[in-house]
A and B are shown apart, each in its own frame.
Chain A
Amino acid sequence: MLEQPLLSIRNFTLEYKTRKGYVSAVNDVSFDLLPGQAMGLVGESGCGKTTIAMALLRLSPDNAVVRQGQICLDGQDLLTMSEQQMRDVRWARISMVFQAAMNALDPVYRVGDQIIEALNRHKNDLSLEQKRQWVAELFKLVGIDTKMIARYPHEFSGGMRQRAVIAMALACSPSLIIADEPTTALDVIVQDQILRELTRIQKSLNMSMIYISHDIAVIAEVAEIIGVMYAGCLVEKAATRTIFQSPRHRYTKALLSAFPSIAGPRTELVSLPGDPPDLLMPPAGCRFHPRCAHAIDRCCKEKPPFEQVGDAHWAACWNPC
């Protein structure tokens, strides 16, 4: 049964204009996301994952130039919408939990009022009393004592602030939540609580989620499908188990081998030589080829297409595992 995707990105290419030239931040990325599906977007610094997230909300910086592509939400291309139309999309249809979002709370307003601010914009048909009740429901949903609604951000701990920001992201019942490294600044025990909370909420409200992180352990626990990014390109996409058990792209395999785990036998870690490429002048052909131990002649000349290599499994590699 073919379900209509909630989100459909096609051939998305974005560059940043800088004094030294154009930085090729995202290059020809395409993927679909179904309703209620949780997708992990994993990659290291500079891979483009946050750029895509910001582009989804049309919050890219001024020097960002979209070269080509479409980002369709329920069939409507977000890239061609007016700013007025986008304002109706943000918070109400797509919302975002940013990295260290706890620092995004306004320190001079009570936390409850900051959520009401979003409701005033998108759910103004509700009465103030109804909005207040909804805020109380949201707090209960994310696990914060409702007496904290009238308190200020500095009275919340780091973990509680992150929960408050998640509550804010949920306030207008969006169909898609983007979480960009939401637990990086938190201690591991609090991280565990937040991750489970987020997954539980996502499932019970049947929202789609894009979970962005460099940490594949967190992604393994949170995401049903995983997209692996490298130097602006989507190099592999498959169900979580498939990525871990039978990765096809050489970078995916290398990333998995470099990741230490506290479970299982103490296996030998394999390090990747070199550094990610300079995106002002990315390598010709496959962007990973300079660091790939299995690069063949073709890898240096032609960029491999992102094509199907298995059941619901795509990769862009001339010499896959």
Chain B
Amino acid sequence: MNTATIPLVRVEGLKMYFPVSASIMRQAKNFIHAVDDVSFDIPAGSSLALVGESGCGKTTTGKLLTHLFSPTAGHIYLRDGETLVDLVTLKRKDLRRFRRRVQMIFQDPYESLNPRLTIFDTVAEPLMVQNVGSLQEREERVAALLEKVGLTPASSFLFRYPHELSGGQRQRVAIARALVIEPSFIVADEPTSMLDVSIRTGVMKLMMELAQDMGISYLYITHDLAVARYTSQEIAVMYMGKVVEHGETESILSNPLHPYTQALISAVPIPDPAIHRTPPTIKGGISQPIDPLPRCRFYDRCPRQSTACEKEHTTVQVDGRKVMCWLYN
């Protein structure tokens, strides 16, 4: 493998099926295909936005990447030197070493911080769990990091509790906590959607600056295409457990290929009354992918469906972009 092209993260054939109404007495007969054969690469120092509406599988994918639970099938590779290590097949004792390298930032700044720990305890916790540094070193590292995320002067924040901070400040603490262990990869699940707009921008910019300074890669999960535009070099669009389109951000936004991506983009309101957008023409809403038929997931709603769409579909490459649509075969 050429060193320059080894990605930091590689997801291959990832599947997560949840049983529907299983119980002790009854075997599960139906499954929700929450994540269904998802594959993508994230290069080092780059951000991939995972975009989609509710139930598309983006949050489940994020949780799988941080190994909060194990996938039904598939591989999650993390670069280790010159090779890729499959986190899914690692034994528990080896996994510990890799947990340091992947961290998560959650959506709700009011729920993700332990209300009984001081800011110092919260940010230092990963260091304690992974047994890094002496107490003195930890204090210095935490203070330096708080300054870095814009909580200055750090000394006034160290011994406060989460309830004393605003939503934006709490999210900055969550970012500091994710960074303290110096990870290579962060999964951020809607980190700014619960913040006010003027605060949101500051937090987004902070995350991008840190990514550049510290060479961290992101999987940025969001339903908001405008946020995806500002934070990520690449976008992967998910629909009912599948990645339907994946490519460079600006290129997808200006020229979406998959009919679902086209509908999604044309539905986003524009904060400029001078611009008139053509609204999407698709009907209906999203349904849950319970035991879906082996054909295009978007079939029922697609304005360009044909008999070709009734077959099991594959991903095609079109000008450096990946699309899962028979129109481009």
Contact = CB atoms under 8 A, between A and B. Distances in A.
Contact of B285 (A157, A217, A256): A157
Nearest to A192: B267
Interface string B180-214: 00000000000000001111111011000000000
A214 B274 contact: no
B198 A255 contact: yes
A244 B274 contact: yes
Interface in A259-273: 259-264, 266, 269-273
B265 A262 contact: yes
Contacts of B225: 188, 262
B286 interface: yes
Contacts of A192: 267, 269, 279-280
B201 A269 contact: yes
B53 interface: yes
B200 A258 contact: yes
Nearest to B269: A217
B129 interface: no
A251 B98 CA distance: 45
Contact of A188 (B199, B264, B270, B275): B264
Contact of B229 (A215, A218, A260): A260
B54 interface: yes
A300 interface: no
A217 B273 contact: no
A188 B200 CA distance: 19
Interface residues of A, number: 42
Contacts of A158: 285
B53 A187 contact: yes
A241 B279 contact: no
A190 B268 CA distance: 11
A189 interface: yes
Contact of A263 (B54, B200, B275): B275
A60 B173 CA distance: 35
Contact of B196 (A44, A188, A196, A273): A44
Contact of A272 (B54, B202, B274): B202
B: interface residue count bin: 35 or more
Interface string A185-203: 0011111100110000000
B230 interface: yes
A189 B196 contact: no
A199 to B, nearest CB: 11
Nearest to B227: A260
B273 A240 contact: yes
A101 to B, nearest CB: 17
A57 interface: no
Contact of B166 (A157, A240, A275): A275
A46 B256 CA distance: 38
A203 to B, nearest CB: 16
B226 A260 contact: yes
A261 B270 contact: yes
Contact of B197 (A189, A244, A258): A258
A264 B271 CA distance: 10
Interface string A273-303: 1011000000000000000000000000000
Contacts of B270: 217, 220-221, 261-263
Question: Which 4 A-B pairs give the minimum distances between C-beta atoms?
Answer: A271-B202, A272-B198, A217-B269, A187-B53
24 contacts: A45-B196, A187-B223, A188-B267, A189-B53, A189-B285, A192-B267, A214-B197, A217-B226, A220-B271, A220-B272, A241-B274, A255-B198, A260-B226, A260-B227, A261-B226, A262-B225, A263-B272, A263-B275, A269-B201, A271-B205, A272-B198, A272-B199, A275-B166, A275-B199
Interface of B: 53-54, 166, 168-169, 196-202, 204-205, 223, 225-227, 229-230, 250, 253, 263-265, 267-275, 277, 279-280, 282, 285-286
Given A187-B223, A192-B279, A220-B272, 20 more contacts: A44-B199, A187-B286, A188-B223, A188-B268, A192-B280, A196-B279, A216-B271, A217-B271, A221-B270, A254-B198, A255-B197, A256-B271, A261-B270, A263-B277, A266-B229, A266-B250, A269-B201, A271-B201, A272-B199, A275-B168
